[in-house]
Amino acid sequence: MSNYQSKPIAPDGTIDWSPQEHKTWHDLVERQQKVLGNRACQAYLDGLAMLDLPSKRIPKLSDINHVIQRETGWRLAPVPALISFDRFFELLAQKQFPVATFLRRREEFDYLQEPDFFHEVFGHCAMLTHPDFAKFTQVYGQLGRQVDHQTRVFLARLYWFTVEFGLVREHGKLRIYGGGILSSPGETCYALESNQPQRIPFDIHTVLRTPYRIDIMQPIYFVLNDISALFRLSQRDLLHDVQQAMAAGLLPPLFEPKEVNNA
């Protein structure tokens, strides 16, 4: 269940954001820009420069669409706060990136479990200007439309450890391309500088078998040699990889199980 409700889209494509929401956007962008400099990958920084997102107001969907459609043929698809897996995969397969049109409340400024407008736009849209990232994301959506729920559960780990929490090596240094990291100041620093998580070379079979939790700092990150590795991944028989991972089973989790409050 979502604690938020997406805002309606006017006939001209605009969203009626409140002054407080514009201020929240400004504060989120300003805070995140302070930590991105030498931590984000070049593809993200180049995409962010193309988007030229305003900081004092929430950007218009049409302005973002103009850039990503020109670069890779993608566009944003406004959606309710939560959508089904069927709808999620369908949109990606059609080169439409789902964006919930709500912004986190001030009391959830530091962490929000649901992907809000800031996460989707500031975290992901810059990478959608890169052809290899865009192709991989579309192929992922096409695969997800073909398979059953159990297979999707394994396939979800590929998205999690790339699109959301992926690292890449550039000129011998680790950089971030995953939107889940790039929209979080805490995890942006933690992912590269903390001595707690593991950072290991990307291996598709290990990725597909690695459990994750959505409500903690990640205990493990997988590192690509370059962003073009995403295109090469999109050309693999990924469903065969998933079938192999399902037959092998999950690896032991690197985190404690989530406590469930039954009170």
Query: pLDDT digit string (tens) for 226-237?
Result: 999 999 999 999
Residue 175 and residue 40 in contact, taking contact as beta carbons nearer than 8 Å: yes
Report which DSSP code applies to 108. Answer: G
Confidence of residue 260 (pLDDT cuts 50, 70, 90): low
Locate all alpha helices (DSSP H) within 37-107, ordered by sequence: 42-51, 61-72, 85-93
| pLDDT more than 70, % of the chain | 98
Rounded to 10 deg, the angle between the 185-193 and 19-36 helix axes is 10
* Cβ count within 10 A of residue 154: 19
Confidence of residue 19 (pLDDT cuts 50, 70, 90): very high
| Tokens of residue 151, six digits | 């297979």
Q: Which residues contact 221 (CB under 8 A, 6 or more apart)?
A: 161, 165, 166, 167, 191, 197, 198, 199, 200
Tell me the chain's radius of gyration from C-alpha atoms. Answer: 18
Q: Measure the CA angle with vertex 131, ends 127 and 134; round to 5°.
A: 60
Strand partners, 236: none
Question: Which whole number is the average pLDDT over 184-210?
Answer: 97
Residue 1 predicted with pLDDT over 80: no
| Digit-coded pLDDT (tens) for 108-130 | 988 888 899 999 999 999 999 99
Domains of the chain, earliest start first: 19-248 (1.10.800.10)
| Tokens of residue 241, six digits | 């990889």
